[in-house]
Amino acid sequence: MAVARELPISSADRTGAPGSGEAGEDAAALAERHLIQPWPLAGSIGAEARSPIESGDGIHIVDGQGNRLIDGPAGMWCVNLGHRRQELAQVLYDQAMQLSYNTPWYTMNTASALLAERLAAHAPGDLSHVFFTTGGSSAVETALRFMQFMNNVRGRRDKKLILSRGGAYHGSTYLSASLNGRPRERDWMDGADALVVKLSSPDPFRRPAGMTVETFADFLVDEFSETVERLGAERIGAFVAEPIQASGGVVVPPPGYLKRIRALCRAHDILYVSDEVVTAFGRLGEVFASGEVFDLDPDMITFAKGVTSGYFPLGGTMISERLLSELRKTNNPDALFGHGLTYSSHPIGCAVALKNLDLLEGGALDHARSVEPYFQARLKELEELPLVGEVRGLGLMACIECVADRESRDPLQLDKDVGRRIDAHCQELGLLVRPLINMCVMSPPIIISREQIDAMVAILREGISRTMDDLRREGVWRG
Ligand SMILES: Cc1ncc(COP(=O)(O)O)c(C=O)c1O
């Protein structure tokens, strides 16, 4: 089958780029001696060089060998408007030349106030205020520390437990990471376990045998109610949930389930925190998905990544007017929310986010909404391949989950590296995949065109077919 393969970027374009040629080899040697990459294994920590990426342009990145690849994961779900956007780069420069930093402890900058107002206008319910952070983990951390502070000020010092779910990913700081529900990381990392209670993953594909999706939703809601009953609502401060679990494998929950949990949270005075670090800023065709897509009005929304399309590290926590006014009413002269980051409300991040929002409102959101059905329909065709158990997703995020056997949906024998194998083949063919054990997650820049979606799906089909051939040849799979 013909697979789209674009030409490598010319060597002239690469001249001087860090990571190219000799500089690239030097960089690899230096990384192996001095750099610690995120999520390393003990056996290679501090001694590892990962694939150098030299440049990017639109939905493409260029690797150390000059190969041009479709950026399937949009970096880490963040380069929503694509690479090398002149408009965004210019704002970075202009803002840095005007004001590169101001202390948020004693001063403020205009960009942060303008951005807060624009975000409040997009947010559902009464989410009128923003606390800006440096990324997603610090946004989740802010939401949780705010809940603790609020309950302390209101004299409810025992109302601090946090409900989270299997399959969740909320970050890499101590408290946010304590919420994570993916088994492999929790085996080796400590967490604030006394503060966190885990509920079941809302993954319909992995629902208990014999349940329909509707009865699975009932099961999840009942489990929530029973947990509140068992622990006591007076001890539970917050429920934290991604509307779609992203790193957990693009888990789209059963219809209506989130809304039912939201209602229970309100009834029990438990704060509902919607973690939109991935789902906001166009990934689901809206600035925020909680209200527009899921009909939710959370007490807090956390965001990051796409807010600047990855051009500057920025995140934030939207907080409801109701909560803030209740706090103000206490009028306690000593109660200090002792929480702040040197880079809270960073002027460059906020200026870039304003331009990013202009571009989203000025056509990118419309474009995302127009290509979403095509993106999902084309990827769904890959279910024809026997290694593929399910293709699922919403908006411009999707997951191809591979299984050893479709009947039993057994991923175990394939767990180790089927995603990595598919990724290796796809990279040869011109696509970077985000492999997750037995899954391939796709979340390209939202500016992707129909033709580019066709190219992406053709490469995936070929990459999965080649992987099936390898597995058959090695005798580890008989599909
Ligand atoms: C849903 C969600 N929340 C929080 C985070 C943490 O964000 P960051 O890596 O910017 O700290 C992530 C990162 O992938 C995420 O997917």
Residue 305 CA to ligand 1 centre (angstroms): 8
* Sign of the dihedral through C-alpha 381, 383, 387, 388: positive
Q: How far is the CA of 101 from the centre of ligand 1 (A)?
A: 24
Phi, psi angles (nearest 5°) of residue 78 = -120, -30
Report the CATH fold assignment for 123-345: Aspartate Aminotransferase; domain 2 (3.40.640)
Distance CA 295, CA 289 (A): 8
Percent of the chain with pLDDT over 70: 93
Residue 149 has pLDDT above 50, yes or no: yes
The CATH topology of domain 11-84+364-473 is Aspartate Aminotransferase, domain 1 (3.90.1150)
Which residue owns the Cα nearest ligand 1 atom 7? 136
Please tell me the distance between residue 169's alpha carbon and the centre of ligand 1 in angstroms.
7
The phi, psi pair for 240, rounded to 5°, reads: -120, 130
pLDDT at 477: 84
> Which tens digits make up the pLDDT trace of 199-223?
999 999 999 989 999 999 999 999 9
Candidates 365, 213, 363, 380; CA nearest to 292 is: 365
Which of 170, 273, 288, 300, when mutated, tests ligand 1's pocket best, judged by the most ligand atoms within 8 Å of its CB?
170
Average pLDDT of the segment spanning 394-419: 82
Where does 15-135 have alpha helices with state H? 21-34, 74-77, 86-98, 110-122
Distance 472 CA to ligand 1 centre (A): 37
Mean pLDDT of 113-127: 98
Mean pLDDT in residue range 301-314: 98
> CA-to-CA distance for 160 and 144, rounded, in angstroms?
9
137 lines ligand 1 (CB under 6 A): yes
Residue 72 Cβ < 6 Å to ligand 1: no
State the Cα–Cα distance between residues 412 and 409, nearest whole angstrom: 9
pLDDT of amino acid 22: 55
307 Cα: distance to centroid of ligand 1 (angstroms): 12
Output phi, psi for 241, to 5 deg. -150, 135
pLDDT attached to residue 413: 62
The answer, yes or no, to whether any atom of ligand 1 lies below 6 A from the CB of 242, is yes
**Domain ranges for the chain:** 11-84+364-473, 123-345
- How large is the average pLDDT for residues 416-421? 88
Q: Is 169 in the pocket of ligand 1 (CB under 6 A)?
A: yes
User: Is the per-residue pLDDT at 17 higher than 50?
Assistant: no
- Of the listed ranges 47-51, 341-345, 379-383, 415-419, the least confidently predicted one is 415-419
Domains 11-84+364-473 and 123-345 share a fold: no
**Does the beta carbon of 276 lie inside 6 Å of ligand 1?**
no
Q: What's the pLDDT score for residue 183?
A: 73
**pLDDT tens digits, residue range 340-387?**
999 999 999 999 999 999 999 999 999 999 999 999 999 999 999 999
Tens-digit pLDDT profile for residues 432-476: 998 988 999 999 999 999 999 999 999 999 999 999 999 999 888
pLDDT in the model for residue 414: 64
Average pLDDT in the chain: 93
* CA nearest ligand 1 atom 3, residue: 170
Instruction: Output the pLDDT for position 407.
Output: 76
Q: Looking at the CA of residue 76, tell me the nearest atom of ligand 1.
A: 14
Q: Is the pLDDT of residue 412 over 90?
A: no
Q: Note whether 163 and 199 are within 8 A (CB).
A: yes
pLDDT for 405 equals: 82
6: phi > 0 → left, psi -120 to 50 → alpha, else beta; which?
Answer: beta
What is the mean predicted confidence (pLDDT) over 124-144? 98
Report whether 367 contacts 126 (CB < 8 A).
no
Q: At 363, give phi and psi (nearest 5°).
A: 145, -30
